[in-house]
Amino acid sequence: MYLGADLSFVNELDDLGGVFYHQQQPRDVFELFHEFGANLVRVRLWHTPTVTTYSTLADVKRTISRAKALGMAVMLDFHYSDHWADPAKQIIPAAWAHLTDLSTLENTLYDYTHHVLVELNTEGLSPEFVQVGNEINTEILLDAPPTDAPICWPRNARLLNAGIEAVRDAAPQARVILHIAQPENIFWWFDDATAAGVVDFDVIGLSYYPKWSKCGIVEATQAIRQARERYQKEVMLVETAYPWTLTPGSENDHLLGADALLPEYPATPQGQRQFLTDLTQATLNHGGIGVVYWEPAWISVPAKPSHWENATFFDYQGRVHEGIQFLTHRYEQRTLE
């Protein structure tokens, strides 16, 4: 089972002077997560970001190098955008915005994906998992945020299959992930995708946040079992998170507030840890192959306040708390009935 963390912000936080403490000693975040049991690091890649100098290919290489030096697997997350790609926005990179011909866009997506993976392989940095898109509930490579219009699957399938083909050609050892946000969206999306000919992938990647989902842990993990049986694919929770406090820190507008809570799990370090251990055990029970926590080290530093600091594994002084112990929990390996 993979137990992982998305550590895409860590290089920037290190460069800005962020300090992470364990037992009153400053620690390297990658080493700390490895010691607590993480065996996978997820990292995002933006095409040509303009709002940051991070999440570039150079930055991704730095992250992968740090992970592989500790023997951890890597999940590379292509956003196919210059900034965040998620269900509310799948904006085409500015460098591709003029490509109105679908065949040209398809070939460009293939070439870009192939180039990145070949370059990583040349430097000994090949990922074990590759996401072709991030939270692709809507059509990818759009000029504007999606409307209520249905996905144009003839177009969407060609673009997704171009990315998948590039992974197969440049990194045949990697497992391809297609990533959807929230369990309630698995079945309509993958029914449509497979009907459109998007079938050559290995893993259904799932985001599960109680803030944005109608599912509790039981319903979310039952969906994992149903998806395994329906599509004959592995399933992994590639994003989840839970707040350890609702008390304001550097920022008053945390992304995860009271609306992110389930009744049985309070916003405490203990509640966060229990949510994650229960979710992970239930994921394993239903045949999921792993759980990845999203940005557990995105603390605030003076030059970069974090809207996520109440959902990290560190208190407001940068000291690790017990939420991280979900990685060290002894899970029971169970066989699907």
Q: Among all residues, which ones are annotated catalytic?
A: 135, 239
Yes or no: say if 74 and 127 are a contact pair by the CB < 8 Å rule.
yes
Token representation of residue 245:
């406090």
Question: Residue 74 contacts by C-beta under 8 Å, 6 or more apart in sequence?
Answer: 40, 41, 42, 43, 64, 67, 68, 125, 127, 128, 129
**Number of helices and strands (H, E) in the chain?**
8, 10
Yes or no: say if 127 and 64 are a contact pair by the CB < 8 Å rule.
yes
Q: 299: burial class by Cβ within 10 Å (0-12, 13-18, 19+)?
A: buried
Largest CA distance in the chain: 57
Q: 184: burial class by Cβ within 10 Å (0-12, 13-18, 19+)?
A: middle
For residue 43, the surrounding DSSP H or E stretch is strand 40-45
